[in-house]
Amino acid sequence: SQQGEEDPQALSIQEGENATMNCSYKTSINNLQWYRQNSGRGLVHLILIRSNEREKHSGRLRVTLDTSKKSSSLLITASRAADTASYFCATDGWSTGNQFYFGTGTSLTVIP
Amino acid sequence: EAQVTQNPRYLITVTGKKLTVTCSQNMNHEYMSWYRQDPGLGLRQIYYSMNVEVTDKGDVPEGYKVSRKEKRNFPLILESPSPNQTSLYFCASSLSVNSPLHFGNGTRLTVT
């Protein structure tokens, strides 16, 4: 399987704390994308980081990418109860026969 | 509003009864794909399409068919559903193979 893996599988934090999720992947990439999924709903794209970028910010989100280690991390700062969701990384289809590959996801619970 | 529309949202059927899950996007996207999501397995790609009349198998195509007769529509067909196809299904589209995916709200299928 070319799926990536996310770590941790589940994370529970207090509101206001920071949440960090890690993703490892197996293929070369053109970009890596992070998505959020509220329970049972469709995934929503959060942020895209290109292979030549090392860090990217969007609001309270900070993504880093280390292509030498084939890993990425997503940091959510000052978390809110509304951030409770599952978070997935995905590699784009540029080098994988036009298929996107998703990680197994991190389930984040933010306790008010 | 830019969106991917899947129908139905919920579907309960019996083994062997052919069914179709519809997917339509209004963003003029070239790339469309189908995923199934199962606990502990993440999202796995079933089929994808790079453009009209061009479809390819993903990682788990057995038991499924697709067609892409028009750019906006990408239906998923289960000719003879079996209980192991009970899952949460998502349709997604994107401008290209390395652009972010836009997801539908999902179809929860139960095959008894």
pLDDT tens-digit profile of A52-100? Answer: 999 999 999 999 999 999 999 999 999 999 999 999 999 987 777 788 9
pLDDT, residue A3, reads 66
CA angle B18, B21, B22 (to 5 degrees): 135
Q: What rounded mean pLDDT belongs to chain B? A: 96
Q: How confident is the model at residue A31 (pLDDT cuts 50, 70, 90)?
A: very high
Distance between CA atoms of A18 and A112, rounded to whole angstroms? 13
Judge: B97–A93 Cβ closer than 8 Å, yes or no.
yes
pLDDT band at residue A27 under the 50/70/90 scheme: confident
Beta-carbon separation of B44 and A98 below 8 A = no
Question: Does residue B38 belong to the interface with chain A, where contact is any CB pair within 8 Å?
Answer: no
Nearest Cβ partner for A45 among B31, B97, B100: B100
Cβ–Cβ below 8 Å for B58 and A99: yes
Considering only CB atoms, A31 lies closest to which of B50, B59, B98, namely B98
Q: Which residue is closest to A6 within chain B, CA to CA?
A: B42
Q: Which residue of B has its CA nearest to A92?
A: B98
Sign of CA dihedral B85, B88, B89, B93: negative
CA distance B13 to chain A (A): 20
Share of chain A above pLDDT 70, in %: 96
User: How many residues would you count in chain A?
Assistant: 112
Residue B12 has pLDDT above 60, yes or no: yes
The string of pLDDT tens digits covering residues B69-99 is 999 999 999 999 999 999 999 999 999 988 9
Strand B87-94 vs strand B31-38: parallel, antiparallel, or unpaired? antiparallel
Question: Is residue B48 pLDDT above 60, yes or no?
Answer: yes
Query: Does B27 contact chain A (CB < 8 Å)?
Result: no
Report, as an integer, the average pLDDT of B40-63: 94
Share of chain B above pLDDT 90, in %: 92
In this model, does residue B20 exceed pLDDT 70? yes
What Cα–Cα distance (Å) separates residue B30 from each residue in A82, B5, B57, B71?
A: 33, 16, 16, 7
Residue A42 has pLDDT above 70, yes or no: yes
pLDDT level of residue A1 (50, 70, 90 thresholds): low
Q: Provide the pLDDT for residue A4.
A: 74
